[in-house]
Each structure stands twice: as structure tokens, then as C-alpha cells.
Amino acid sequence: MSGKKFIMLFFSSVIGLVGTIALAFYILDPLFYYRDEGLIEPQYNADARYQMPGLLRNKEYETLITATSMGRNFREDYVDDTLNTESLNGSLASSYAKEQSMVAQFALQENEQLNHVIWELNFYSFAEDPEKVLDSATPFPTYMYDDSKLNDIKYLFHSYNVRLAANNVLANVSNDELRRNPEELYKFGQVAPEESIERIDGWLQRAPELQEYPENETKEVMIASFKENVIQVIEDNPDTTFTFFYAPYPVYNQHRYYLQHNRYLEERLAFKEEVFELLSQYDNAELYDFQDQKEITFDAGNYMADAVHYYEYINEYIINTIASEDPVTSKTAYDQQLENLKNQVINFNVDQLRNVGYVNRDETEEDVVSMNQ
Amino acid sequence: MLFNSYVFILGFLPVVVVLYYLLLKLDNKIYSRLVLVLASLYFYSFWNISYLPLILASVFVNYFVSILINRSVKIGYKKLFLVLGVVFNVGLLGYFKYFDFFIENTNQFFQTNWPLLEIALPLAISFFTFQQIAYIVDSYRGETGTYNFVDYSLFVTFFPQLIAGPIVHHSEMISQFKDKKNAVFKSLNFSSGLFIFSIGLAKKVLIADTFAQYANDGYGNLAALSVVDSWITTLAYTLQLYFDFSGYCDMAIGLALLFNFRIPVNFNSPYKSLNIQEFWRRWHITLGRFFTQYVYIPLGGSRKGPTRTYINLFLIFFISGFWHGAGWTFIVWGVMHGVASIIYRAWSKGKYRLPRLVALGITFLFVHVAWVYFRAPDLTTANQMVVKMFNFQALDLPPGLSAVLSSVLNMNFQATPYFFGWSTMLLVMLGYILVFFTKNSIERLEEFKPNVRSGVAVSLIFVASLLYLTRVSEFIYFNF
């Protein structure tokens, strides 16, 4: 064979093989991106960022939740019953504002029934470049959250599909019924270690004092991201109601930031103030802020031992509040809330903590008992 | 830009290849080489454009110094310009690569508080600096011709060898650039280039990146490793490093062949070596060539008696260690190889020879343990890993195997949960079967004949590699 023929054979084989693989993955659709049920019954094995676009596109829902892990434990059944709706939880752990925004925009693009978006506002999500998405071992698949068909090749020709398709086929062959129900996906904390006030005390004492304040943790950076990723979506969708909320982080989490650098509190309060002013301009936006709710944030028993995450009943509490109480309505009332938070964070000491929330964790304790058996 | 990226394979490379061969149709072939220089600078800048002036300055200064050396009549001036040139190159490398290391250690030993530069190491600086030191030394020796600036720039920046070698010599590259026989499309060279590039890509993407996961997992969970796990971790790294580096060099060779140029072989089944000297003739061959020509021989080589030979040997490995990275782990790695080379040299004077298998085993074991220092983030981790590897008193079996053996042999074998599973062990074994019992990529290139079988096989491994260019590792978002 001549060199020229070899080159032609090489390139034609490469094109043929790439095409065959892409076609095979289009038919198998391991992330259930094009259709919810095709050749194989879905088992949702993938990382949340990869699994979510298919769920957003193919499930039926009127209410979408977009959040970090603080929203991941909203159970759709509970939300449906309480808000009298049909919901989908699109929360992505450790998500940046851009990712949450893309979840919301993709859902709004794909689902005409969607009329309510519940959106968590998290300092972590906004304290970055507005375009920032996860770029790690599980990079955010931007190409799955847009309306371009051309870049679908990135999904159709991806090594992740090999593993996912194999897992799905095996699950169907062996009648494995795990991870079939989207509502059970990505929930966490059922077997989390117990929080203790002693641990919190030591953790606070070890807080490193920052010499220089991080450049990305300023109000300006956070507001820039908020305007680009949130305000734009509100304006583009005037018929959709947007309910925003600040999750009730434990007060000792906020206090630790304050110990590291006083400016954290200052910048975050300024961010909240401006966010409220911006949202006030839109009839289709409302805001709830749970961060000064002492009965939650001063009770270590409400939280897992990572000083961040609360148990599922706090998610239920948030939904109950959204269902039954008014959002923040006036600047004066909100200023008072922010003043409360400021005083709580500055004047906090561990002696103020309770540890009684665990009585609400029946489900969790049952899980722990069953695991120990 | 990495060779193993979509932007390189599907964007940069096709554009450059097409442009190069279109420009070859012009009478003046210098334009085609100029486009390769510009493409190489774009390739370099893609990583971080702020370092483009650095490589440009390095190329300009060295070319200018070589002209000064060549035009100087008096030997004193030649020597002066050579010294200035070497000081410039070593200074550049020292400033960007070693400054922070020295400051850190000075601060630690003398309790000072000098600020660090905290600058990112410019890509490829170690490679293009060495190539140019060799060039000006050869200018001093009267061994460089009247190269024009475009050819010189291409010799330094030619993108296939720019980032990770091989360290090419001006005499072997510039003559090829000028050779009119190379200024036409040669389908056989192009086919060979596709063949070896695809093999290199597969070595990097399919093999090295797979073993990298195990090595990273192991080094990241040192405390949880059993004795066997520590061996799996380090053996996986030994495989990763070989397939990664040699794969990259294979890709470089393949890319050069696409343009009808041949760059030197850098790896020749190094783990099959029977002694440490042979290892260094098979591993990173062009680095060994550089050290031999420009450090070992100028220091006197083996011409000044055994003691001086040993010192010279030690010095080149010490420098080699430091060249690989500004850290104590690299220095220890270099010292280990220096000492081993001295021991081997002394041993080789005697008449007794070890059986081949024993010699291979000892050489591999030494190289393998030395890689622990090369890989570990610090000396403490390296020492812990080595202690773990040789703590045979803690050799516990996996629970399944322990139960079977205890039952069959009616003995009580201790069991421990293993960090790695059987599939990992089997894959590592498969990796070593590839290393020890199959032909290497260069041997395969020499035997390459374009036919349907090789065409289909190469396109298959190329597509598989393309598929695995992007991997997803599950994100453990909440792992209590």
C-alpha cells in the first residue's frame, strides 16, 4: 500500500469510527439527555452536573430549585405537597452562580410549564468571575446546558459514556433498582457524624487569621456575578416567579469568617443590601433570608459536623416558610434583619449554642441504627 | 497547548500542516520555515502569552552571542562572549526556576524573611536553555555554521520538541531544515508520523493517565496503604512516568515526521536495562547526551583517573537531579543515581557478572525506588512511602485471599482491607507485561509498513485516545 492510500485509509477510518461511536451513544443516550427512556431503563449513575441536563429537559415540573448543596436536600415530594406544585430539584453541590444560572436558563428553555424558580443565594457562588464554572476532575459540561446541537458532539463522543452505558446495561440485566428515582439522587447527610459544641469550639480557635483579604470576596465581585447570572434571567423571564433565599448557615460558620477577617461580614452585608435593592425593582422576584434566624443558626443540633450543612428538616422548614410567610417586603425590615445578623456574628460565643435540633432527626437516627445493625 | 488536547489535534496541527505544505510551493522555502516558527511561538504563547518575550529574548540573545563568538578573532573575546552567554542562560534558568527554592531554604536555615518571587515556571525553559547553551558552546568550538535567524529560531522553538524535548542538537536539525529533499510532501513520512503519533497519544492518554489515577490515589492516601498497596502505588507511578514521557516523545517524533523532519529517539525500553549505566543510555537519551558532551567531558570525563571520574559522574547526576526540579526530592533522586552510577562503575571493573535476570531485577528495583523521591511532594512523604514498601512485617493479605489460604493450609494468615482492588493489580501487571515483553514504539516504527491492517489498527487506537482525552472522575460532593 502506498503512503497516500494509508493516509486516506487512516482519516476515513477515523471519521467513520468517530461517527459510529457518536451514533451509538446517541441511541444509547447514557445520560438520558435526548429522551428519558429509550433502549434502556434509566439508572441515574452520573455526576449531578452531567445527569441534570437530561432531567431538566425530560421531566415534568412547574417549579425548579437551583442551589448549592444547601438546596440539594429539598425533597420534591415535600415541595410538591407544600407548595401545591410539581417540582424538580436542580441543585448542584458547590455550584457557582454561572452554573445555577445555566440550570435555570436551560430549564426555562426546555420546559414551557416552568413558572417558578426557587434560587439559593450563596456568597461562595457569587465570589468569583461571573463566567466561572467548575473546572476540576468533573468539569461543568457547559455544552449540555445550551441550545446548540453542534456542540452535542462533546457529549456523544465522551469517554464518560462508556462507563455510564456499561453501568446502565448491567443494572438492567441484573434488575438493580437503585438510583432509578430522581428524587433520591444526590441526597446526603443521612449518616453524617454528630456535631458537638466542643468540636466547634476547637474549630473556631484554630481559625487562621488572614493577613490579606481575598480579592474575590468583595461586594463588587459578588454583585457583578449576581447581575450577570441572576438579574439577566429575571429580566428575560417576566412571567416566571423567582423566589430567592439565603440558607441558614450556622452562626459559628459566619463567625469563623469574621475571625479570619472582619471584612467578610462587612462585604457580605453590603452584598445582601444591594441584592435586596436590585430585586425590589422586579415584580417577579421575592427574597427570603434565614441567616439571622437564631432558633436555627444557634442550634448545633441542626447541623452536620462540617459546620456548613443542615439536616433535611431545615430544608422542609424553608419550604414551609416560603409557602406560608411573606418574603422580605420593606427596606426597613430588611435593614433590621441585617443588623440582627451583624450583631449575632460579631457578638457570638460558643456558650450561646444549643444542641437540641437532633430531636427532629428521626429519619437520620433510624438510618444510623440500621447501619450499625 | 498540549499535544493531547482537542485544540491541538483538531485545530492547531491541521492548520499548521496545511499552511506549511502550501508555502512549500513557493520558490523561497524560508517562508514555510518561518510559518513553523510563528506557529511554534503561538503554540508556546497559548499557555501564557506573558512568557513570549522571555523565549524571544532568549533566542535573540543567544543568536547574537553566537555571532559575536563566530566573528571574534581573538580567543580571549570568544571566551568572554561564551562566558557571558552561559551566564545569561544559567541566570535565566536560575532566576525563573531556582530563585524561590534558594530563598525558601535561606529563610529556613538562617531564619530570614526574604520575600519569594512566586512566579510560574516558564514552560520549556529548561529545554530551550540547554539547547542554546550547547549551541553557543559549539560556536566557541567553531562547530556552528552560518545559520540564518529563521533556521536558528526554528531549531530552538520547533513545537514538537519545544515543551518536553527531546533536547535536539543544532547540527541534526538545521541541516534537515535546509535540505531541499525535505521540502516536499512525502506520504511515507507522513504515514509514519501518523503511526508513531497515534501510538504516543495512546501511551499518554490510555495508559499513563490510567496509571496516574492509581498513583495519585495512593500518594494522596498514604496512611491507608498496606505494604502491597504501597507497591501498587509506586509501580503504577513507574509505569505512568515511562508511558507519559516516552509517549510524549513519540508524539514529538511523529509530529516532526509530518513535516519530514527526524528528531532523535529519547527512549529505548529503559526498564529492560541490566545496569544503571545502560538505563541512562535508554532513558531520556538526549539529556544524557547533553550532559556527556557539555558537562562530563569538559570536566575531564574518565580521562583524569578513577577518583575524578567518580566525582564527574556524581556531579552530572547531581546537576541532572536539580535540573529536573527545584526541590530536595529531585536532588536526592539525582544523588541516588549518582551514587548508583559510581557503584556500578567500580563494580564493572571487576570480572564477576550477575545473571541477566538478577541484574535486570536489581536495576529495576533501584530505579523504581528512586522514582519515589521523584514523585513524592516532599522528602517526608517519600521516606514514609519507602518505609511502607519495605515493612514486610506488616505484610497482611486481602481478606478473601487470607480466608482461602487459612482454610486450605490450615494456618492463620492476617488480613487487612486493601486500598486497591484486584482489577488495579491486574492492570499494573498488564502494564509491566507491555514494558518487558513487547516491542517498544520505536522498534515498531522501524518495522512500520503502510497496509490495511496497520491503517485500521492505528486509526482505532487514535480514536480510542481521542475518546479518552476527556475523562470525568466522579466528584465526591459530600463524603463523610
DSSP string, A23-46: HHHHHH-TT--S-SSSSS-----S
Q: Is the peptide bond before B166 cis (omega within 30 degrees of 0)?
A: yes
Taking the CA atoms of B57, B58, B61 and B66 in sequence, report the sign of the dihedral they define.
negative
pLDDT at B325: 86
Mean pLDDT of A316-331: 96
Q: Which residues contact A140 (CB under 8 A, 6 or more apart)?
A: A49, A99, A102, A133, A134
Partners of residue B466 in chain A, C-beta under 8 Å: 14, 18, 157
Q: A18 to chain B: nearest residue by CA?
A: B463
Partners of residue A21 in chain B, C-beta under 8 Å: 463, 467
pLDDT at B477: 34
Angle at which helices A219-226 and A97-110 cross, to 10° = 10
> d(Cα B96, Cα B125) in Å, to the nearest integer?
8
Give the residue from A324, A80, A323, A318 showing the smallest Cα distance to A182: A80
> Helix, strand or coil for residue B192?
helix
Evaluate if residue A153 carries a pLDDT over 50: yes
* Partner A contacted by B72 (CB < 8 A): no
What digits encode the pLDDT tens for the residues A25-53? 999 999 999 998 778 888 898 999 999 99
Give the residue from B214, B201, B202, B205 showing the smallest Cα distance to B429: B214
Is A297 buried (19+), middle (13-18) or exposed (0-12) by CB count in 10 A? Answer: buried
Evaluate if residue A369 carries a pLDDT over 80: no
pLDDT at A364: 46
> d(Cα B381, Cα B206) in Å, to the nearest integer?
28
Question: Are B52 and B60 a contacting pair, CB within 8 Å?
Answer: no
> d(Cα B248, Cα B208) in Å, to the nearest integer?
10
DSSP letter for A118, please.
Answer: E
Task: Tell me the nearest-neighbour CA distance from A135 into chain B, angstroms.
Answer: 11
Question: Are B373 and B363 a contacting pair, CB within 8 Å?
Answer: no
Q: Which helix (H) or strand (E) holds A287?
A: strand A285-289
Kindly list the distances between the CA atom of residue A329 and the CA atoms of A288, A325, A337, A343, B430, in Å, as whole numbers in the listed order: 9, 11, 12, 22, 67
Indicate the residue of A3, A93, A134 with minimum beta-carbon distance to B190: A3
* Partner A contacted by B450 (CB < 8 A): yes
Partners of residue B462 in chain A, C-beta under 8 Å: 10, 14
> d(Cα A64, Cα A88) in Å, to the nearest integer?
5
Q: A95 to chain B: nearest residue by CA?
A: B477
Domain chopping of chain A, boundaries: 3-372
Q: How far is CA B180 from the centre of its chain?
A: 31
Question: Is the CB of A7 less than 8 angstroms away from the CB of B463?
Answer: no
Between A364 and B381, name the one with better pLDDT: B381
> d(Cα A141, Cα A47) in Å, to the nearest integer?
11
What digits encode the pLDDT tens for the residues A107-138? 999 999 999 999 999 999 999 999 999 998 88
Per-residue cell: A56: 431538566
Question: Are A107 and A347 a contacting pair, CB within 8 Å?
Answer: no
Taking the CA atoms of A36, A39, A45 and A46 in sequence, report the sign of the dihedral they define.
negative
Mean pLDDT of A6-11: 96
> d(Cα B228, Cα B235) in Å, to the nearest integer?
10
Q: Which residues contact B425 (CB under 8 A, 6 or more apart)?
A: B232
Per-residue cell: B63: 543568536
At position B70, the amino acid (one-letter code) is: N
Query: How high does pLDDT run on average in chain A?
Result: 93
pLDDT at B418: 75
Q: A304 to chain B: nearest residue by CA?
A: B480
Sheet holding A87-89, edge to edge: A87-89, A63-66, A116-120, A241-246, A285-289
Question: Is the CB of A69 less than 8 angstroms away from the CB of B190?
Answer: no
Chains A and B form CB pairs within 8 A to the count of 107
> Helix, strand or coil for residue A90?
coil
Domain chopping of chain B, boundaries: 6-185, 190-467
Task: Tell me the nearest-neighbour CA distance from A279 into chain B, angstroms.
Answer: 30
Mean pLDDT of A279-292: 97
Evaluate if residue A246 carries a pLDDT over 60: yes
- Predicted complex ipTM: 0.87
Task: Tell me the nearest-neighbour CA distance from A328 into chain B, angstroms.
Answer: 32
Q: Which helix (H) or strand (E) holds B140?
A: helix B125-140
> Helix, strand or coil for residue A275?
helix
> d(Cα B327, Cα B102) in Å, to the nearest integer?
10
Active site residue B324: yes
Categorize the per-residue pLDDT at A180 as very low, low, confident or very high, splitting at 50, 70 and 90: confident
Q: What is the assigned CATH class of domain A3-372?
A: alpha beta
* Partner A contacted by B140 (CB < 8 A): no
> d(Cα A219, Cα A222) in Å, to the nearest integer?
5
Partners of residue B463 in chain A, C-beta under 8 Å: 13-14, 17-18, 21
Question: Is the CB of A10 less than 8 angstroms away from the CB of B186?
Answer: no
> d(Cα B35, Cα B39) in Å, to the nearest integer?
6
Q: Which helix (H) or strand (E) holds B321?
A: helix B306-324
Per-residue cell: B406: 487459612
Indicate the residue of B451, B454, B467 with minimum beta-carbon distance to A159: B467
Mutate to test the interface with B, among A2, A4, A5, A6 (most CBs of B within 10 A): A6
* Partner B contacted by A50 (CB < 8 A): yes
pLDDT at B474: 52
> d(Cα B367, Cα B387) in Å, to the nearest integer?
16
Question: Is the CB of B475 less than 8 angstroms away from the CB of A49?
Answer: yes
pLDDT at B476: 38
Question: Are A79 and A319 a contacting pair, CB within 8 Å?
Answer: yes
> d(Cα B284, Cα B242) in Å, to the nearest integer?
10
pLDDT at B41: 96
Evaluate if residue A362 carries a pLDDT over 70: no
Candidate list B169, B170, B284, B324, residue with the active-site label: B324
| Helix and strand counts by DSSP (H, E) for chain A | 16, 5
Checking B321-327 for CB contacts under 8 A at 24+ apart, the result is B322/B98, B323/B126, B323/B130, B323/B287, B324/B374, B326/B97, B326/B98, B326/B100, B326/B101, B327/B101, B327/B378
Question: Are B29 and B183 a contacting pair, CB within 8 Å?
Answer: yes
Kindly list the distances between the CA atom of residue B385 and the CA atoms of B23, B65, B221, B432, in Å, as whole numbers in the listed order: 55, 47, 11, 21
Task: Tell me the nearest-neighbour CA distance from B140 into chain A, angstroms.
Answer: 43
Give the residue from A246, A215, A207, A216 showing the smallest Cα distance to A71: A246
Residues of chain B with pLDDT under 70: 473-480
